[in-house]
Amino acid sequence: MLVKRAQLGDKEAFVQLIKDMESSLYKVSKAILLSDSECLDAVQETILIAYTNLHQVREPKFFKTWITRILINECNKIRKVQTKVVKMDVYLEPSISEQREIFVDLQTAIDSLEPDLRTVITLYYYEDLSIKEIGTILNIAVGTVKSRLNRARAKLSSLIEGHKVEGRLLHE
């Protein structure tokens, strides 16, 4: 197992662990921070902390949960010092497919959610984590995770349906 090898000082094993999780870490950070540069900062800081504290992982199967918790803490630190939220503009080609438009609408709707709701949606749907795992990572009760998922789904449904009625796309 890579985690055990990394804990024994195998740097290549740690690099492989991070490569395997890099995309996942970025998606989670993006759900919280939105700004690419802040996301990259959070991921880099998380990797450094994980490398320094790898000995704290008692069960290799919990490595993903452990490093995701570190990432969320780092994202929250960055969010606390933000003076304003920077929304990333989405530049689209005029001849975009309908499927891409739907994805952009959904992503725009997700981006407009409050950070707590955006985080649970990302962890559940994009990172395929269970409700119990999300509760552990965020240090909240399972009931709170379910409540946030339900609130997020309701808001997303309302946002998307509202824009269908108006006959326009969210990104226009």
Q: Rounded distance, CA 142 to CA 98, Å?
A: 36
For residue 111, pLDDT over 80 is answered with yes
CATH label of the domain that carries residue 108: 1.10.10.10
Number of domains in the chain: 2
Domain C-terminal end among 30, 64, 84? 84
Domain C-terminal end among 84, 103, 135? 84
Domain C-terminal end among 59, 84, 109? 84
Task: Look up the domain containing 74 and give its range.
Answer: 1-84
CATH label of the domain that carries residue 53: 1.10.1740.10
Give the pTM.
Answer: 0.61
Q: Rounded distance, CA 104 to CA 94, Å?
A: 13
Looking at residue 94, its pLDDT comes to: 42
Q: Are 138 and 105 within one domain?
A: yes
How many residues in the chain?
172
Measuring CA to CA, which residue among 152, 80, 58 is closest to residue 110? 152
For residue 97, pLDDT over 70 is answered with no
Q: Rounded distance, CA 140 to CA 130, Å?
A: 13
